[in-house]
Chain A
């Protein structure tokens, strides 16, 4: 398996534009997580899905952020409109149902909003 795949690896956009980050979890993993990493706040859990259903979105910072998982092999995190303070590295992770198993992380998307 190729692991968790995120795209793009880097994204530079202008303030006010819509940004869509993409994630392909590991096949067979029932849980998918979106995290945001910044120097100030560290690694924050934004939202997670189980079997494509959002379970906890309490970490989503504002209504400008939305996430979807239309099927078991694809998820998106959208920011509309984007702001400079959204600049961060966004990670997607997936794991199976087995509680004893760790999460596997993608390489991340570095977002810069100018």
Chain B
């Protein structure tokens, strides 16, 4: 079965430190990978995506993610965390062949302490 795993329910980091939010996936076929962020009482906002090409993807607000095919991972990273980055982060995957169905991980709550 196709799946996405975010192994950490919560990540705590000090402001100014680098952050990593982990994501692994399992799909049959070529993956399309996405990261979304959700602020309180808001919908999901798109951050970045990997479709093909360069394994290092850069997105909004200084975030980036690295696609690792051998480890089936797509970890989200940022060199220097901000307090305003505190939110709920979701990893998502779509696959080919697989149609247009996108499944989401359980989410990781990021706390950035000043």
Q: Which residues from chain A sit less than 8 Å from chain B, CB to CB? A: 4, 31, 33, 35, 42-43, 45, 48, 50, 55-56, 91, 93, 95, 99-100, 102-108
* A95 CA to B90 CA, complexed, in Å: 18
Interface residues on B, range: 20 to 34
Q: Given A43-B90, A100-B51, do A33 and B102 touch, yes or no (CB 8 Å)?
A: yes
Query: Given A43-B90, A107-B43: A56 and B105 within 8 A (CB)?
Result: no
Considering only residues 53-104 of chain B, those with a C-beta below 8 Å from chain A are 90, 94, 96, 99-104
Whether the Cβ atoms of A48 and B101 lie closer than 8 Å is yes
Using a Cβ cutoff of 8 Å, how many contacts connect chains A and B?
Answer: 51
Q: List 18 A-B contacts (CB under 8 A).
A: A31-B100, A43-B90, A43-B106, A43-B107, A45-B102, A48-B101, A55-B100, A91-B44, A93-B44, A95-B100, A99-B94, A99-B96, A99-B100, A102-B34, A103-B102, A104-B46, A107-B42, A107-B43
B92 CB, nearest partner CB in chain A, Å: 8
Q: Does the CB pair B100–A102 fall under 8 Å?
A: no
Known contacts A99-B32, A102-B34, A104-B46; is A42 also within 8 Å of B104 by CB? Answer: yes
Tell me whether B49 is interfacial, beta carbon within 8 Å.
Answer: yes
Find out whether the CB atom of A55 lies under 8 angstroms from the CB atom of B99: yes
